A and B are shown apart, each in its own frame.
Chain A
Amino acid sequence: MAPTFTVDQVLGLAPDAASASAGKGLATTRKWVSLCKNAEALWGECQGSGSTPYQVRIDLSEPAFKCSCPSRKFPCKHGIGLLLLWSGSADAFQESAAPAWVTEWLDTRKARAEKKAEQHESGTQKQADPVAQAKRAEKRESRVEAGIEELETWLKDLVRRGFAAAKVEPASFWTRMEARMVDAQAPGLSRYVRSLFSACSSGEGWEERTLREAGRLYLLIQSWKNQSALAEDFREEVRTLVGFAPSKEVVLAGDPVQDLWYVWGQRVEELEDGLRLQRTWLQGTKTKRWAITLSYARKGMPFEFSFVPGSGYESELVFYPSSVPRRALEKKRGQMSLLSELPTVQFFDEALAEYASALAANPFVEVQPIAIRAARLVPQGNGFVVADSTNCLIPLRGDPEEYWKAYAGTGGQPVVLFGEWNESTFTLLSYNINGVHRTVKGGVA
């Protein structure tokens, strides 16, 4: 049976709000000359302003899109419109043998996937000149070393003068150091400086948050300086955090973990320069392992990995080396399926214990995903808290209006909740009520 999608899920695939809105306008049979389906794909012809209708096709396994329109957005409004129609009016689609313009595309996709898999298997990717590569690596190491020395001095100076003095510094005081770390080819450290800046310029409680961020950064600097004494996985983690992330090819050459991965939630963040970052949390239903995929895309362009929250994927994931491996890449995708039972914890304490173990192995873990059953939202003051079945509470962070929707949906009853714990607050990303997955939009205020 072809997979189904909720409207939330489909709109979550739109590259921007304008495409989502335009897609909704096309989710009407009136705009389509034909609407067809088979077990693996949907296709239709959409009447645009030209004389020839646009040919729109969707590979349901991801879902992946292709359209003959000239739009540079991906998926385009026609793709979104077609999938929205499928979510709302599946009976409008006729079961049919796929025409050539659909089968050819599907075949090309399959061939490309097989070739990619073969390349990974045989390691036939083109190798760069190893001598030149080593030279470049050496040069970079020395630049990073110099940058880190400078950063450590700056950080100590910050503590010597006091956070109160830093708080009244102009933004350039921080951004200059951020830029310096980029110049030193340590972009990861630049992110840490930015977090420190955010903490120092935040509201009530800024002192302790700044202290925490300063401690984290110092720990990373010391870990870098002490690399040779670290266990291999942790060393890799430290190097990745500084900015030496292994290439995808190297990661994909690692051992894959095959599981039925449930997609718990997704967040898209707008980065600088029109870049978007999609973070998707998955959990293996057999291994119970957490995985997070990071996918970047320019505005209007597709993310590399397309996961639909609330669905399960029989996939192979490969993890980046770390003492707490979570960041992963998808190596091979199998069937998409729905799950009847979700891997959850019963009490917050279980999740916090898992977080404590993760911190013990890797003190740089900033977020713990929590999927908890029989938990409920409780309005408190101007916001909400989440209570588990023993009435242990954690505060919620985010847009209260979105939480009111979740509260209305759950009626304050215990349900399955999923979100991110960041040491002090919980950001709700989804909930599941009677087997129906619901996304909570705008997790962070």
Chain B
Amino acid sequence: MIAWKELARTAIVGTERQSVLPSPQPPTLGAFFQEYKTANSEEEVLLKAAVMGTWKAAALQLRETPGLEPVPDVEVESHPTTKPKLNTLLQQMSEDAPQIAAEVLEGVRRAGMILSPELLPTFFELARRDKSLREVVSAVGGKRGAALARRRSDWEFLLGNATGLQESAWEGPRQERVAYLRELRLEQKEKARQLVQECWKGEQAANRRDFLLALEVGLALEDEAFLESALDDKSKEVREAAQSLLARLPDSAFVKRMTERARGCLQVVKKSGLLSRAITALSGGTGTSFSIEAPSQLDAQAKRDGLELSAPKPTDPAGFVAEQRGEVLEKIIAGTPLNFWIQETGLTPEELISGSQKANYIGRIIRGWELAAAYQHHDDWAKALVLHRVIHGTIDHNPGGLFVALPRQEQEWVMERAAEYSSQQYASMSNLMAAPLSLEITRKLHALLNESITKPKNGYDYEGYRLIQILCLQGALEFYPQLVEYAKPYVSEPTSYTETWNKNLFIYELRHTLFQEIKS
């Protein structure tokens, strides 16, 4: 409507600068304005604004929009959707207890259900923020979920393939570029590596390091040549990243070099005499003794592999040398296949660990094995190493990853043994396990809780609060009635535990009710 735009133009600059210009009007309005006289320009603008504004609002007519996307096909889901009562609980969980979402959605998946459509955006947003939920949310999203994810770029990760990748991310900040590389590695390993190689020379050291570490996804021997070349990078952090990746490739030349160095550090003595074998057998020994020593000299290639023994410091020559030798030993062990130690000595991981206790560099040896177990996903070694930490009360210093990566059955095996040791460690480890915990672990935690809160304590009882939280958020569901009964006195009479109980029992109850509803 030209007249309306003209009027607005006059109103912006003001009638003291611009008078109302005559402009074409619809006939009805034109006649009205001719008849209705105003005293000045301000009145004219205001009157026309009143009449034309109303006329415009009343005269609006819509036209069919050509090319509008058709109504989407109705998705025929192959699984039943969650029912209203469960939906209510799921919605409540998303708002009040998102920390139990992984367990509950897994339950929904196991029950062969998919989420009711109106819940999808809520859980998509949860999964956008928490990557660990993506796989299960994608699974319970059904066809409606996939259709929605196709409509929104920030939900495309739920499609479970690389279609969610946006190449523009490669032009963005470092974090986005790394995320893009990691995603691309899932689908097109070669392409991802080529991208890194192409930009390699022009990138800063921090970028080169992070891009290299992104190749961890789907790492394979085809990456070796590039990683080997990165061992000559001018930046130490890049070289270290390349070393850590090559250590994960058991058939790489790097690992072979490290294995040869490890051979030089290991000394094995097998008892051969009849008498000594008999004594060893009677005493429950292995018949083999070994020692692991840090190298005092290195081969010519060692420096390239990150191993270096430099000149001692004048202030503390002995300590400095010992420290350097220990560091070298740790790196050699971390880069050596764990089976090497078993094959060379004929001993089990437990025997190797216990047999090294008196070694000069025990801390470095253990740390090297821990890194190797993480690189090589060696469950037997991981179990033995975690247990070693439990026994020595240092589980909190252990990279949690080793325990977390263990299969459930192995975790429970470790927990069974861990029960004899520190309750604090036991709680820490149970906290690392996926919910629900077994009934046995739950009972043990409950016993620890009872011990903790019935014993008079000074100050803040962190342990008691933490155990209540672990029990409620992860405890076995069948333990729920027993815990509710146990909590009653603390809930009905205000105590320092009341708030913690109420807050966490509420979540336990939600879990309990959710699973009852899922089962029904």
| Main SS at interface, chain A | helix
A58, chain B: closest CB distance, angstroms:
18
Complex: A157 Cα to B71 Cα, angstroms: 52
**B118 & A409 in contact (Cβ 8 Å cutoff):** yes
A47 pairs with B492, CB closer than 8 A: yes
Nearest neighbor of A392 in chain B, beta-carbon distance: B62
Q: A156-B43, A215-B52, A215-B53 are in contact. Are A352 and B11 (CB under 8 A)?
A: no
Q: Can you identify 5 A-B contacts, CB atoms within 8 angstroms?
A: A49-B494, A207-B12, A352-B61, A355-B57, A376-B71
Complex-state Cα separation, A162 to B42, whole angstroms: 10
1/0 per residue A347-361: CB within 8 Å of B?
Answer: 011001001100110
Q: Which of A116-124, A178-186, A400-408 touches B?
A: A400-408
B58-94 interface (Cβ within 8 A of A):
58-66, 68-69, 71-72, 74-75, 84-85, 88-89, 91-92
Q: Are A30 and B122 in contact (CB under 8 A)?
A: no
Q: For the complex, is A214 an interface residue (Cβ under 8 Å from B)?
A: yes
Q: B14 near A: Cβ within 8 Å?
A: yes
Which chain B residue shows the least CB distance to A20?
B95
Please tell me if B366 contacts chain A, counting CB pairs below 8 Å: no
* B contact residues vs A (CB 8 Å cutoff): 4-5, 7-8, 11-17, 40-43, 45-54, 56-66, 68-69, 71-72, 74-75, 84-85, 88-89, 91-92, 96, 117-122, 125, 144, 147-148, 151-152, 484, 492, 494, 502, 506, 509, 513
Query: Are A411's CB and B121's CB within 8 A?
Result: no
The SS class assigned to the B binding surface is helix
Within 8 A of B (CB), among A409-428: 409, 411-414, 423
Contacting residue for B12 out of A6, A162, A215, A359, CB 8 A:
A162
Task: Contact check, A411 vs B61: say whether CB atoms are below 8 A apart.
Answer: no
C-alpha gap A423/B58 in the complex (Å): 8
Are B11 and A207 touching (Cβ within 8 A)?
yes
Nearest-CB residue, chain B, relative to A390: B64
Known A212-B49, A405-B118, A405-B122; contact A348-B72, beta-carbon cutoff 8 A: no
Asked if A160 is at the interface of the complex by the 8 Å CB criterion, the answer is yes
Quick check: B50 and A393 within 8 Å, CB to CB?
no
Residue of B nearest to A356 (CB): B58
Whether A411 and B144, one on each chain, are in contact in the complex, defined by CB atoms closer than 8 angstroms, is: yes
Q: How many residues of A contact B (CB 8 A)?
A: 63
Please judge, given known A-B contacts A212-B49, A352-B60, A378-B68, whether A159 and B122 are in contact too, CB under 8 Å.
no
B65 and A393 contacting across the interface, CB-CB below 8 Å? yes
Contact B96 A24 (CB under 8 A): yes
| A160-B41, A394-B62 given; 4 more Cβ-contact pairs under 8 Å | A30-B484, A162-B11, A359-B54, A392-B65
Taken together as a complex, chains A and B put the C-alpha atoms of A219 and B117 apart, in Å, by: 48
Instruction: Name the one of B14, B52, B85, B144 contacting A159, with C-beta atoms under 8 angstroms.
Output: B14
Contact with B along A192-235 (1 / 0, CB 8 A): 00000000000000011011101110110010000000000000
Neighbouring A residues of B120 by C-beta, 8 Å: 408
With A and B bound together, what is the CA distance between A98 and B85 in angstroms? 27
Nearest opposing residue in chain A for B506, CB measure: A25
Contact B117 A408, beta carbon cutoff 8 Å: yes
Residue of B nearest to A412 (CB): B72
